[in-house]
């Protein structure tokens, strides 16, 4: 029997307010959900204000959809509103993922890189701008990766240990906070926990990639779902030769199932920043981001 897909509407609004006039703005967006085997983007649009702008679409090195914006008219406010409808297919449960190879075998296969899949996985094997490799990260990962343990079982254990050992604290870190500080302070946000887990895996010689997107949040019982109260999210994908790339969320201690919507993937946050760019003028700026994820049907 065919299992029905899960459908969501995602609204992501980014607004910059500037202290003084901006005369030129160039922006690079990762705000279009990626379509792949487990996810289909049914509709998507981006509305930009001011409306006087030039735009072009493309794909980055990792195959993620992108958009470039150039605004040459003077402005004091920049508002970018992305709206998408996305369908998610059923993902396998841990019970269905039994029989993955021992993690040492996966490491050896990737090192040989004799197939297209393992060659592609080597993109996510090395240090990157926000993920350094270290003996400390390897040491933290070792209790999960006992000799001969299946890679997906070990990855889930590491996911659960990060959740137990680290506290979610938005004030503890910034985008540039190194993993060494996250590891010692045991505090951070979803981006930190995803990059920490990636650093652990790569320090063991295992490929892991960074996923950027959204997660459905659940209001307290009896409370309405609030518009704009959700946020961007980050999690981890682990390479497994038997099952392909399998996603884990250390912030929520889970194997990813039907509540994560993917924008794109890369080596770390720097590859899939939702919106970044340069401006001429502007002075001080105030940023406000609103995200709403709504189940449909």
Could you give the CA distance from residue 140 to residue 162 in angstroms, rounded to a whole number?
A: 10
Mean pLDDT of the region 268-286: 96
* Beta-carbon-side half-sphere exposure of residue 78 (alpha carbons within 13 Å): 28
> Kindly report the CA angle at 162 between 256 and 124, in degrees rounded to 5?
65
In this prediction, residue 179 carries a pLDDT of 97
Cα–Cα distances in Å, from 35 out to 17, 116, 161, 260, 297? 32, 20, 31, 13, 20
| 186-211 pLDDT, tens digit each | 999 999 999 999 999 999 999 999 99
E strand residue ranges, the chain: 6-29, 39-49, 54-59, 65-71, 75-88, 167-168, 187-188, 208-215, 232-240, 244-249, 254-255, 260-266, 275-281, 285-296
- Do 95-271 and 6-88+273-296 have the same topology in CATH? no
Mean pLDDT of the region 45-56: 94
Q: What is the pTM of this model?
A: 0.94
State the pLDDT confidence band at 1, using cuts at 50, 70 and 90: very low
For residue 270, give the H/E element and its range. Answer: none
pLDDT of 157 over the 80 cut: yes
Q: Which CATH fold would you assign to the domain 6-88+273-296?
A: Immunoglobulin-like (2.60.40)
Rg for the chain (alpha carbons), in Å?
20
State the pLDDT confidence band at 4, using cuts at 50, 70 and 90: low
In this prediction, residue 229 carries a pLDDT of 56
pLDDT of 43 over the 70 cut: yes
| 158-170 pLDDT, tens digit each | 999 999 999 999 9
Q: Provide the residue ranges of all domains of the chain, joining segments of one domain with +.
A: 6-88+273-296, 95-271
Asked if the 95-271 domain carries CATH number 3.90.550.10, the reply is no
State the pLDDT confidence band at 218, using cuts at 50, 70 and 90: confident
How many other CB atoms sit within 10 Å of the CB of residue 57? 11
pLDDT of 69 over the 60 cut: yes
- Closest-CA residue to 265 (of 123, 115, 56, 117): 123
pLDDT of 226 over the 60 cut: no
Mean pLDDT of the region 37-58: 95
């Amino acid at each position: 029997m065919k299992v029905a897909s899960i459908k969501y509407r995602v609204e992501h609004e980014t607004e910059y307010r500037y202290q003084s006039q901006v005369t030129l703005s160039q922006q690079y967006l990762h705000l279009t959900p990626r379509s792949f085997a487990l996810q289909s983007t049914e509709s998507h649009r981006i509305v930009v204000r001011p409306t006087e702008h030039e735009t072009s679409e493309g794909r980055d090195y990792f195959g993620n959809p992108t958009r470039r914006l150039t605004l040459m008219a003077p402005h004091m406010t920049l508002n970018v509103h992305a709206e998408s409808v996305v369908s998610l297919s059923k993902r396998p449960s841990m019970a269905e993922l039994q029989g993955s190879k021992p993690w040492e075998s996966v490491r050896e296969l990737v090192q040989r890189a004799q197939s297209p899949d393992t060659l592609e996985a080597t993109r996510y094997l090395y240090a990157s701008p926000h993920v350094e490799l270290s003996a400390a990260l390897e040491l933290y990962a070792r209790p999960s990766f006992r000799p001969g343990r299946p890679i997906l079982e070990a990855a889930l254990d590491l996911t659960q240990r990060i959740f137990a050992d680290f506290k979610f604290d938005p004030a503890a870190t910034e985008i540039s906070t190194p993993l060494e500080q996250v590891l010692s302070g045991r505090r951070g946000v979803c981006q930190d926990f995803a990059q920490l887990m990636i650093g652990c895996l790569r320090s063991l010689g295992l490929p892991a990639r960074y996923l950027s997107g959204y997660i459905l949040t659940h209001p307290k019982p009896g409370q309405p779902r609030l518009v704009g109260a959700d946020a961007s999210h980050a999690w981890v994908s682990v390479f497994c030769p038997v099952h392909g790339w399998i996603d884990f969320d250390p912030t929520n201690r889970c194997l990813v199932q039907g509540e994560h919507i993917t924008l794109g993937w890369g080596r770390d946050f720097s590859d899939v920043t939702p919106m970044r760019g340069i401006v001429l003028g502007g002075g001080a700026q105030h940023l406000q981001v609103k995200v709403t994820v709504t189940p449909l049907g």
